[in-house]
Amino acid sequence: MDHPKISKLAFTGSTEVGREVGLAAAKKIIPSTLELGGKSANIFFDDCNIDHAIDGAIMGILLSQGEVCYAGSRIFVQDTFYDKFVDALIKQFNSVKVGHSMDPNTMMGAIVNEKQFKKILEYVKIGEQEGCKIGCGGVRIIENGLDKEYYMKPT
């Protein structure tokens, strides 16, 4: 951040580090772009191609098990086709093959570590406590030799 030839700083990540990047840009009086701690939203209207929308939503949240800062973890759906969209999304989530990353049929691999896995389960629990209905998943997968790592059904 201190190199004299840098004319702009860009950072995606935590608010704590982003604050430092923003301050460094301000000190140099150069522009900065910061995407901090947010979760990217998907917005779907009833005139969309629902098959493409579902594919995009699935890829947006399951890419790298959702462990990326740009994961599409929020979905806003126009009320006129909400039920149809959610039903189609659940159907697709239930068809996702979870497994070892070396298996070419795998669509979603293991969660990075136990700490992150427990954090995900805690968020599922919080959602349920706040009245969320779990449409699919929400549990660990231990069948077919997946008990040695941290696999979770798409939720």
Active site residues: 35, 69
**What is the per-residue burial (b if ≥16 Cβ within 10 Å, else e) of 58-78?**
bebbbeebbeeeebbeebebe
CB 112, CB 66: distance < 8 Å: no
At which residue do the structure tokens 């493409």 appear?
52
Query: Which two structure tokens, joined as six digits, stand for 110?
Result: 């293991």
* Cα angle value 130/131/132 (rounded, 5°): 100
Rounded distance between C-alpha atoms, residue 97 and residue 35, angstroms = 31
Q: Please tell me the distance from the alpha carbon of residue 118 to that of residue 136, in angstroms, as a whole number.
A: 18
